[in-house]
Amino acid sequence: MTGAGQNGASQNRASQTWLIRGIRRAGGPPADLILSGGRIADAGPGLSAPPGAQVLDAAGLIALPGLVDLHTHLREPGREDAETVETGTRAAALGGYTAVHAMANTDPVADTAGVVEQIWRLGREAGVCDVRPVGAVTVGLGGAQLAELGAMADSAARVRVFSDDGRCVSDAALMRRALEYVKAFDGVVAQHAQEPRLTDGAQMNEGEVSGLLGLSGWPAVAEEAIIARDCLLAAHVGSALHVCHVSTAGSVEILRWAKAKGWRVTAEVTPHHLLLTDELAASYDPVFKVNPPLRTRADVEALRAALADGTIDCVATDHAPHPAEDKETEWQAAAFGMTGLETSLRVVHAAMVETGLLDWAGVADRMSVRPAAIGQLNGSAAASGSDGPGGTAPLHGCPLEPGAPANLVLYDPAARSIVDPAQQASRSRNTPFAGLDLPGQVVATFLRGTPTVLDGKLTR
Amino acid sequence: MKRHLISAADLSRDDALLILDTAEELAQVADRPIRKLPTLRGRTVVNLFYEDSTRTRISFEAAAKRLSADVINFSAKGSSVAKGESLKDTALTLEAMGSDAVVIRHPASGAPHRLAGWVRGSVVNAGDGTHEHPTQALLDAFTMRRRLGRIDGLRVTIVGDVLHSRVARSNVLLLHTLGAEVTLVAPPTLLPVAVSAWPCEVSYDLSGTLPKSDVVMMLRVQAERMSAAYFPTVREYSRRYGLDAERMALLPDHAIVMHPGPMNRGVEIAAEVADSPRSTIVEQVANGVSVRMAVLYLLLSGAGPALDEIGTGSPAATEAEIAEVAR
């Protein structure tokens, strides 16, 4: 696929110039793209190669703006046996991502400026994908006292997304204060919506299958009740709420209602909730154990429709790596979570594009433009940071037009292959898609003009 | 028959009837002076118990020993989850010791299912969490058939904590397979939310259901359900869903009263009911051994009829051999 040879050490790549031939931007008509100086220098049909440019024949491939994940568990610090910033960002690059938001439930918890800066720095050292730390809402995810949100916002990591993900900020008064407080620095609170009293010991979706399997139910209402409450709170205080991993048809209805009111509510859905159902729990294989749980076919259909019509703004992976010993157990004893970075675009292709619900422009919007806007990476916010290399702002989610940063993924929609966990870059193997025949293949990923992935392989 | 017995749903009608018929033949052994058959000589059955359940473990142990199997009791209580050896490592250990069958009791639903993926031998579910207890359902069906002569068309009422009961799940599935009409009676808090999808009827009114019941099966009520607000008080539960002598009088004359044990006398069942001639509770225990013998026999020595080998002195089990084993 790559027509040109490599020209030396990786530090030279930033100054590399690339001519990408015959690429279909967001599925549009074929054209050429020139990447230079970390930006898109030119775009249009029949461009000639600048001197010294490497040429990549991309006929048949689709270019999307580099994907942005609002919900990634990189596990470092604390659970380096499951994932590190380095392995997680390599997995992200292979999946077409140029920016990921690292969730705060590390050990120690990312609830201080020191920890978020450490994670941010590890991301810069790994260098294959921008890492945007998410700050914890409460100290130690304890749900009792607000963490120093302002210090994290002002730190070098410039945190804008705050979440106790894995735990719900279930105290209504505390949630209200968090929503209010982050307005001072244009922050957003990303809520893991789970009423704890309704989900004590919960193992899987409460419904027909849980009744037969004798596994404690996680009822849809436990998610929906919190989402309804939080939408009302966000409206009351005029703040921005983001709802993590929406999983039920009822949640979709509440979000549709809140958006119709004009409230500042956004939401994400995971690839696994767009494809898989709770019937998979009948295997008792904890690779299918996740929180929120896999739901029913009717929920999957509602989530797809909501992503298509924009009620759900974006896809977020909730990439949650776990070592084998935390999954090779009884269902009840196993950890919640699934990996997703390396398969998300392919799953969205199968669930949304092959079904005719989204075109590639829609995929670009839901997997890059909108998540970048929610994470304030698209330069729209007044207080954009300046932590990119060489003083450039870390812009993501920009349309692939001249002048935009050269963050993009090249994707082959005609490819098809079976998901093999052994081939993945993540340190963990807990993908629920193992053995599934999925469409597509990420061919290349460019981060500020430098290829992190070429020919479907990491460049370093 | 499948290689494992994990769910009552694993059994076709023919499988279930074969087990009951085999158990009937094997029950005759209990009446012989020498209660031991050489059928599973040289085979190893492991009782892997992660929960205290003396009655179930002893029942399986007696069943295996009467078939001359070697029995290893592996009590692993407390070592399952956070501390100690994982279930997988235990499975690999049993595998290395050459077990032919593992009888497992475990507090986690689905543990036998997982175990079956890690061992070559047969797995028999002796109760997993709030999922199933298929040999209990088989012994209950066996008891019904002995007392009432049939299962097809019987009206069976199961009363109590269906939500958390592995006995109820296995009974609903097996009795449906065998053609009985099952009605569940419980407070709405102790029924699964999607119980309407189960192959049975549901009622909240015990007194109204009893006159239409050939069998009433009372489930044990755990005291901790009360603290979780499934019902207000034990007394109220007992008044609405307990079986006392007055309610028992609503049953047809031929009807029987069952309980899987252990009983809470005075809560779900009154003492005079438990000790009445309608009660099959002690028979259920005796029948448990015969049914478990049949299950182990059919899983470990193939699906042939048991009678030829064990009942009438086929070469596999002559009286001489039996005498030899007994010696």
- What is the reported pLDDT for B198? 97
Answer yes or no: A318 catalytic. yes
Closest CA to B291 of B40, B37, B27: B27
- What is the reported pLDDT for B311? 40
Asked, as a colleague might, if the bond just before A292 is cis with ω within 30 of 0, I would say yes
Does the domain made of B8-132+286-326 have the CATH classification 3.40.50.12780?
Answer: no
Contacts of B87 in chain A (CB under 8 A): 329-330
Q: Which residue of B has its CA nearest to A330?
A: B111
pLDDT in tens, A126-148: 999 999 999 999 999 999 999 99
Q: Which residue of A has its CA nearest to B6?
A: A213
Q: Which two tokens stand for residue A40?
A: 């898109």
Answer yes or no: B56 catalytic. yes
Q: Are A115 and A77 in contact (CB under 8 A)?
A: yes
Q: Spell out where A310-407 has E strands.
A: 314-315
Which of B114, B192, B194 lies nearest to residue A330, judging by beta carbons? B114
For chain A, the structural domain boundaries read: 10-63+401-458, 65-374
- What is the reported pLDDT for A392? 38
Q: Which residue of A has its CA nearest to B8?
A: A212
- What is the reported pLDDT for B182? 98
At residue B326 the predicted structure's pLDDT band, cuts being 50, 70 and 90, is very low
DSSP B7: -
pLDDT at residue A299 is higher than 50: yes
On average, the pLDDT of chain A sits at 94
Touching B: A residues 256-295, CB under 8 Å = 283-285
- Active-site option among A111, A165, A278, A318: A318
pLDDT at residue A13 is higher than 60: no
- Mean pLDDT is lowest, of A15-19, A228-232, A344-348, for A15-19
Q: How many CA atoms lie within 13 A of A75 on its CB side?
A: 22
Question: What is the CATH number that goes with domain B134-283?
Answer: 3.40.50.1370
Would the CB atoms of A330 and B111 count as touching at under 8 Å? yes
Task: Return all residues near B277 (Cβ < 8 A) that are at least 6 apart.
Answer: none
Q: Which CATH number fits domain A10-63+401-458: 3.40.190.10, 1.10.10.520, 2.30.40.10, 3.40.50.261?
A: 2.30.40.10
For chain B, the structural domain boundaries read: 8-132+286-326, 134-283
Per the model's pLDDT, the better-predicted residue between B95 and A380 turns out to be B95
Question: What is the CATH number that goes with domain A65-374?
Answer: 3.20.20.140
Contacts of A326 in chain B (CB under 8 A): none
Answer yes or no: B83 catalytic. yes
Same fold: B8-132+286-326 with B134-283? yes
Tell which phi-psi region holds residue B20, choosing left (phi > 0), alpha (psi between -120 and 50) or beta: alpha
> What ipTM was predicted for this assembly?
0.89
Contacts of A213 in chain B (CB under 8 A): 109-110, 131
Asked, as a colleague might, if the bond just before A108 is cis with ω within 30 of 0, I would say yes
- What is the reported pLDDT for B302? 65
pLDDT at residue B312 is higher than 60: no
pLDDT at residue A5 is higher than 90: no
**Percentage of chain B modeled with pLDDT above 90:** 78
Answer yes or no: B209 catalytic. no
pLDDT at residue A246 is higher than 60: yes
pLDDT in tens, B130-152: 999 999 999 999 999 999 999 99
Which of B106, B166, B193 lies nearest to residue A206, judging by beta carbons? B193
**Percentage of chain B modeled with pLDDT above 70:** 90
Closest CA to B247 of B204, B208, B202, B203: B208
- What is the reported pLDDT for A4? 41
CA distance linking residue A129 with residue A363, whole number of Å: 20
- What is the reported pLDDT for A33? 97
Would the CB atoms of A211 and B198 count as touching at under 8 Å? yes
Per the model's pLDDT, the better-predicted residue between A8 and B44 turns out to be B44
Which of B88, B107, B110 lies nearest to residue A213, judging by beta carbons? B110
Mean pLDDT of B19-37: 90
- Mean pLDDT is lowest, of A372-381, B185-194, B233-242, B306-315, for B306-315
pLDDT in tens, B149-199: 999 999 999 999 999 999 999 999 999 999 999 999 999 999 999 999 999
What is the least distance, in Å, from the CA of A423 to any CA of chain B? 24
- What is the reported pLDDT for B301? 84
- What is the reported pLDDT for B174? 98
pLDDT at residue A57 is higher than 80: yes
Per the model's pLDDT, the better-predicted residue between B14 and B224 turns out to be B14
At residue B75 the predicted structure's pLDDT band, cuts being 50, 70 and 90, is confident
pLDDT at residue B207 is higher than 70: yes
**Percentage of chain A modeled with pLDDT above 70:** 94
Q: Are B49 and B74 in contact (CB under 8 A)?
A: yes
Asked, as a colleague might, if the bond just before A77 is cis with ω within 30 of 0, I would say yes
